[in-house]
Chains A and B, each alone.
Chain A
Amino acid sequence: MAGLSNVGRRWDSVVERYNAQPVIVKVLAITVLAVFVYALPLLRPPILTTNSIDFGGVMFRVVAFALVALGLNIVIGYAGLLDLGYVGFYAVGAYTTAVLTVEHGSWPFFLVLPISIAVTMLSGVLLGAPTLRVRGDYLAIVTLGFGEIIRISLNNIEWLGAAAGIKNIPHPTGIGAKPEPPFEAGGLFEVPRLVWDGFVPSVDNDHKSAFLAFGSRDAIPYYWLILTVLILVLIGDRLIKASRVGRAWEATREDEDAAELMGVPTFKYKLMAFALGAAIGGLSGSFYASSQSGYINPLSFPLLLSMLFVAAVIVGGSGNRWGAMAGGALVAYLPERFRDFADYRLLFFGMALTLLAVWRPEGLLPPRRARRAKQAEAEIEALEEGELDEGELERAHDV
């Protein structure tokens, strides 16, 4: 399994090299990366592209799951609270949107979005306020219970469509004409995509994706929309992690009692992490509800999904936003890519999860803190062993 540890080490060196570059190179690199990611479903690169299922739709799910993982990363990675029922918030977001846009109201999507975020956040506070007082492991089981309560309630309550779910959820309002099937123009402008014959690309002018218009034919506009949301959340995540709040979370996670003694109101910050994580889950759920198919039912939110999300965050490297996102993306992507092995995929997934945990317990891309902590530990050990004297250590630091 040397290959796996190499992933992490290579990532380290990539990050270090990136950090050493001048600002202009960084901006350029990010722009190129962003353009590539935006264009991915149009480029449809061979090997990466799923064959039997619409690649745009898969990419939408990939980004939606990455967004969920980003939210869960705040709860698990930053604040250190194990939430096994996170999919409950995803469901609350999706159902709030569905109820207000079609089932019991006909409000436009972008008006409902903030409401649905607020509702999920409120549900996070309502669940968190009583349960965050209990210890970590109990929190896990209480949240697990919460996820199940949500799913079973959705299944039983007529008002929410019961087992049949909610159909015909309207799509977000676009700009320009709505693209109607089959293949009519729409949106601000249209972008053709590539088709590949083996490894030879050519432009496919018959299948164009509309920009800023959301129909039922093409998933790519939804992909662009949710990718933009993901980037916005990512920026917010970065800011909050570096802020006073982020430091308070870190202190709470490392040692709650010590943090409390140092004057960090740990309960308040834990609740904040819970609410914020819930809100991001709800946000992703809202987009999921009003996506291409416009249909949700309780089966879309199984408990299994919660486990997968937790696995995604921890395998990706709990506390590292890129690791968590990569984990979330893989959870969505791998089953679709390997549909041919459909029967075996959960078996492989389970075995891979165990092997990964055993061979690389800190996750694929552990957060920088962990690596720095490790380095410090190694130094202390070296000092204790008398292999390094203080002077040498300082010189090592200067480098």
Chain B
Amino acid sequence: MDLGALFGSLDNFLSFTMGGLVFGAIYALIALGYTMVYGVLQLINFAHSEVFMYGTFAVAWTFIFLHGTESVTWSLGQALPILLVALVAAMVLSAAIALLLERVAYRPLINKGAPKLIALISAIGASFALAEAMGLRDRFASWVGLEDDLESYVAPDKARDVYSNPVTIDPEGLFDVGGYTVTDVDLVIVVAALLMMVALDQFVRRTRFGRGIRAVAQDPESAALMGVNSTRVVQLTFLIGGLMAGAAATLYMMKIGSTRQNAGFLLGVKAFTAAVMGGIGNLRGALVGGLVLGVMENWGAAVFGSEWRDVVAFVLLVLILLVRPSGILGESLGKARA
């Protein structure tokens, strides 16, 4: 334990805090998917991590498709056009996976009124199947005889390994906060995440669709009696969660630059932790939870050593739940007033 590493100087402290905020923003975006589905259905969408993981692959594939496999290092400005295309691709793929998930793994169970635990099992199964399908994509390609044409996409015999974006984005320092140089990549991540959160929050609070979501979250039966099509609302919820996960995947790839077929799992667990910490079902809670988790994790890693990073996250979760059993901001997707 080394408290000095964190609190020894203001520079260090600020530097760890800023680094944590950047990661926290990504956690928060993924956490939205968990929190939306939980708010509407009271189900833990365990497979949401895979929705995110497919998004990261979509980003890498877009870069390979538009740029090629040659490894280069670009500045953010150079990569921006492809990055925007990649953002769209990731959002589309993630949303498609999320909708597929809703159709295959959830809707039959919701229609039957099955217990929540079974929906969780169904989601765990779907999560395995999706992650494995990505890890076996080289086999699928070879079944249809396309492994040569798609070589750089399916990575034959290496489909389970780390899969990198050929374009490495070199972050450019903009200004210093304490000892931390805020780069353009960091700034884009935090600002983009905040913008999307605000947009979503307003969407749920102010639009007709948002009112439907809140109505179903509050009381599905009364909502149905008032003419809300709950199947559509659930679909919309999954769609939004998928879109946000796709955006998070793009930001993640900007920062990290590589992914793999099991990349979703730990991030998913962390994002879910963030959602619970902020108060699951509460959109603003997801933001707060994500940022708190990111920062505390970074602080913990500084004090206890980076191998304890994940432990810090979970211990923090337990502590927060003990003090505030419904999360920092409480649960309230249904109770949010326009």
Contacts and interface: CB of A to CB of B under 8 A. Distances in A.
B44 A140 contact: yes
What DSSP secondary structure best describes chain A's contact surface?
helix
Contacts of B119: 357
A239 interface: no
A127 B265 CA distance: 24
A11 to B, nearest CB: 19
A146 B114 CA distance: 28
B311 interface: yes
A155 B308 CA distance: 10
A354 B104 contact: yes
B120 interface: yes
Indicate the member of A134, A141, A307, A352 with the most B CB atoms within 10 Å: A141
Contact of A153 (B104, B131, B311): B311
Nearest to A349: B128
A344 B318 contact: no
Contacts of A373: none
B280 interface: yes
Contacts, number: 132
Contact of A318 (B42, B117, B129, B139): B117
B124 A311 contact: yes
B273 A145 contact: yes
A134 B311 contact: no
A138 interface: yes
Interface in B110-138: 112, 114-122, 124-133, 136
B68 interface: no
Contact of A138 (B112, B276, B310): B276
B269 interface: yes
Interface string B202-214: 0000000000000
Contacts of A264: none
Q: Bin chain A's interface residue count.
A: 35 or more
A152 B307 contact: yes
B230 to A, nearest CB: 19
A361 B314 CA distance: 31
Interface string B246-275: 000000000000000000010001001100
A357 B317 contact: no
Q: Bin chain B's interface residue count.
A: 35 or more
A347 B105 contact: no
Given A149-B311, A152-B307, A347-B128, A357 B272 contact: no
Contact of B129 (A140, A155, A354): A354
Contacts of A133: 325
A351 interface: yes
Contacts of B173: none
A351 B109 CA distance: 15
Contacts of B120: 82, 140, 310
Given A142-B318, A353-B124, A152 B310 contact: yes
B118 A141 contact: no
A133 B325 CA distance: 8
B108 interface: yes
A139 to B, nearest CB: 9
Given A138-B325, A358-B105, A361-B118, 6 more contacts: A152-B307, A303-B269, A350-B130, A353-B124, A362-B118, A363-B118
Interface of A: 76, 82, 130-131, 133-135, 137-138, 140-142, 144-146, 148-149, 152-153, 155-156, 303, 307, 310-311, 314-315, 318, 343-344, 346-347, 349-358, 361-363
